[in-house]
Amino acid sequence: MTTAELPESTVADRADTQRRVVRTLVASQMLGGVGLSSGIAVGALLAEQVSGSARYAGLGGTFQVLGAALAAIPMARIMAARGRRPGLALGYVSAAIGAVGLIASGVLRNFPLLLLSSLVFGSATASNSQSRYAAADLALPHRRARDLSIVVWATTVGSVLGPNLVGPSAPVADALGLPRLVGPFVFSLVGLLLAVGVVLLRLRPDPLVEARRQRLADGAGDTEPTHGSVLRGIRVVAASPVARLGLATLALGHGVMVSVMVMTPLHMAHGHAGLTVIGFVISMHVLGMYALSPVTGAATDRFGGRVVAVAGAVILVAATLLAAAAPTGESLGLTVGLFLLGLGWSCTLVAGSTLLTAGVAPAERPGAQGAADVLMGLAAGGGGAVAGVIVDQVSFHALALTSLGFAVLIGLLALTVRTHARPARPAA
């Protein structure tokens, strides 16, 4: 039974349910984003202080990225078995435990504890990432990208508000008798616990469980259980040209963005750019990542994921060219390039997520989506690590041009891959 054949009251009820789900996910995304970005703003400084060396300052962020990738594995299984609500809550609860550990590591000056806590803290990224898929569970196909992108957009609030809580956190840390650099993690803890409460109390009905119930009620579903295995998800994606394109777009777009973004502050600092200018350039990058995501979602619904993936690739090419041509230090070209880098990533994220979701059967989506987030995390971690080597051994310009090559690959794949195949299941 199609949506057009359903009673008008049923269609209205389902639309109202989807609006409530999206509103709840937006709220949890904002709180989770505040919790995550509050701590990330001082993470490198805390790692340097605890370890006693600037050489290890980036390890905390690396462990957070790795933690996000690892957390996606159990979250996918839990979501397949019990729904989105317990899976998202698990990620936020784990991150809250990580925030407590980071506070303790600052007090005790214990670097191994800091790394372990950073690994667990990365679970917040996994929950924020999986929230976009929860927004697509009950969405009508012609609104799937738009609903997904609204939840992505909500990250803007947390990403902007979180770093601005660093200053107010100092008197809070003083009042609690804590080192000032762990003050932001107090706000992280509060934001993450509030996100847990919103998910557990307000995400009802559970969108994944309700979507399956609706398919069965409409006679459009089957009795096969929902699968959450990441390994099975990889096989499912490999069997579908649409899903393969979605995964490639996600992983390559994320790798290009992270590799250039993480080295930009260093490139600017080597040219004696001030911290204020560096902060402004990164804030413009974050603005490009999230602020226009509803526009990206509307374009994906209107023109299709493949078209938007090509557009994202073109924008990433322009961004990396501007970055490669920018002199060391500050420049208008680098600022524009970093904004476009964020916008191109937004296109690849929304288009890739939509293609991946459309390319697999509903029962296979939790596992396939979990696999996508694992591979995105690995692409980010690998891209960041390789970027440091390229900049150290060659130059930032060489890094930008290398990233340009991967951006071109996204466009070539989107232009050549057939995207009208039916949702796939793995071979027996």
Task: For 417, list phi and psi in degrees, rounded to 5.
Answer: -80, 135
Lowest mean pLDDT among 76-80, 161-165, 182-186, 420-424: 420-424
Dist CA 6 CA 4 (whole Å)? 6
Q: Which of 270, 264, 349 is CA-nearest to residue 308?
A: 349
pLDDT per residue over 304-343, tens digit each? 999 999 999 999 999 999 999 988 887 888 989 999 999 9
Amino acid identity, position 6: L
Query: What Cα–Cα distance (Å) separates residue 165 from each residue in 41, 97, 127, 190?
Result: 9, 20, 22, 12
Query: How high is the pLDDT of residue 253?
Result: 96
Report pTM: 0.82
More confident residue, 44 or 338: 338
pLDDT per residue over 5-37, tens digit each? 555 556 678 889 999 999 999 999 999 888 887
Dist CA 340 CA 305 (whole Å)? 19
Question: Are 129 and 379 spatial neighbours (Cβ–Cβ below 8 Å)?
Answer: no
Examine residue 171 and say whether the peptide bond preceding it is cis (omega within 30 degrees of 0).
no
**Can you tell me which residue has the tokens 């696999």?**
371
Coil, helix or strand at residue 360: strand
Query: How high is the pLDDT of residue 141?
Result: 83
The gap between the terminal CA atoms of the chain, to the nearest Å, is: 28
Q: Is the pLDDT of residue 426 over 70?
A: no
CA count, 13 A, side-chain hemisphere, 124 = 36
